[in-house]
Amino acid sequence: MKRFLLPIAAAAGALLMATPSFAGKPEWAGQGNGKKPVAQQENAVEIRFGAYFGDDQRSAARSYYGQQAGKGRCPPGLAKKNNGCQPPGQAKQWTTGKRLPSTVTYYAVPNEVVVRLGLPPSGYKYVRVANDILLIAIGTSLVVDAIEDLMR
């Protein structure tokens, strides 16, 4: 009798394991397809060349750097040239929509200015090149937008 029950029990077990599952899909399922989840898409900031900085951001940055120049933070040799502390050879060597040349020296933007401008979008950063603040892509140094002539 055991000989007959063992194969029947094994067949019944295999049959139970082969039945479909009736569990529902989790809410995150099906959002792969190479797209971001809907929640991230709604919060995404659209970055267009030359259209990121607004008038408020431009005036806030110019106000900060104008105060710094007024405090005598410009070296005497550059101060007498009346060019807004721009070092020689740093006249606009960048173009919106193109990579920042590796020969161009840039500096971090002070936190006080970042607060006034607002945090840059994810994957981007603010840098200062001579008298300009640039929004560049991290990694590629692609110039997206700029606030030019901070000292005017």
Confidence grade of residue 145 (pLDDT, cut at 50, 70, 90): very high
Q: Where are the domains of the chain?
A: 53-147
Cα–Cα distance, 37 to 42 (Å, whole number): 9
Closest CA to 116 of 66, 49, 46, 71: 66
Q: What is the b/e burial string over 9-19, where b = at least 16 CB atoms within 10 angstroms of the residue's CB? A: eeeeeeeeeee
pLDDT tens-digit series, residues 8-36: 766 666 655 655 555 566 665 666 555 54
CB of 147 closer than 8 Å to CB of 61: yes
Determine the distance from the C-alpha atom of residue 52 to the mean position of all C-alpha atoms in its chain, rounded to a whole number.
12
Q: Which tens digits make up the pLDDT trace of 68-107? A: 655 556 655 555 555 556 555 555 788 999 999 999 889 9
pTM of the predicted model over 0.75: no
Q: In what order do the strands lie in the sheet with 107-108?
A: 107-108, 124-129, 132-137, 143-147
CA 11 distance to own-chain centroid: 59
Q: Provide the CATH topology of domain 53-147.
A: Nuclear Transport Factor 2; Chain: A, (3.10.450)
Q: Where are the alpha helices (DSSP H) in 55-152?
A: 55-70, 76-79, 111-117
Best-predicted range by mean pLDDT (58-72, 86-100, 106-120): 106-120
How confident is the model over 30-50, as a mean pLDDT? 59
